[in-house]
Structure 1
Amino acid sequence: MEWISTGNWKGEDEFEQLILSIDCRSREDPLIPATYFGNCVAPCIATIKNVVLMGENGFVIATKVIRETISKMVKSKDGILKDAERWHDAFKIPGRKIGIAGTPKHNFYDLDFGWGKLKKNETLSIDYN
């Protein structure tokens, strides 16, 4: 996993956002085949004020907010793409954004394209200030 952080600490009443990608292949109707190699992900953005995170139960509350945000998105009766036109509205909320990138489904160190096994994996991103 790679952690990408943008923004600076501002004050106690600022928003913090955790941004992660959700795999949509198994959530479409009709289902997208598991062999599909293309990109089929949706952004999932959990938002909370940092004053809550700094409280006594901040970690517990943060995990609950993240779990509820993911659950709301993947268990929507109207389908995961229902609000696709508004996915990026949450990016407009001012505050610090932390993104999680990567995938547990692709074992990059087990790949072999004929040159031998991978010894080092580096991820490049354009999300740096």
Structure 2
Amino acid sequence: MPNRLEGKVAIITGGNSGIGEATGHLFAREGAKVILMARREAQGQAVATAIRERGFEATFIACDVGDDDSVRGAVEKAAATYGRIDVLFNNAGGGGGGRFPNEPNSDWLRIVNTNLTGTFYVSQAVWGHLVA
């Protein structure tokens, strides 16, 4: 069933690489207007460009999901760009660099801020657009 997302606007956090990048390409092929959000701007812009070069619509918006102000600004920019938000794929995340017994507290706090708090911030910011 092609074009299952035709006319939908989809935000993908962590859309600059890995699962987020692959999901951006998939959602675009299914007809969505894709908004990629991530911290690393050069990578995010490259993914958006690759999607557009295949004839689909994609935009990159720089965003640190662990920063509530960054998230709210990015979501408002996304909503202003397309007039709506229909789909949210909370994908931003990461892990530590060491083994558990040696993991520094600072790494743990960074992981929780991105993987847990970031998911909360993005979901909360997008919620009003999804239920409108």
Q: When the two structures are superposed, what TM-score results if normalisation uses the length of structure 1?
A: 0.30
Structure of larger gyration radius: 1
Which structure shows the bigger proportion of residues in strand conformation? 1
Which structure shows the bigger proportion of residues in helix conformation? 2
Q: When the two structures are superposed, what TM-score results if normalisation uses the length of structure 2?
A: 0.29
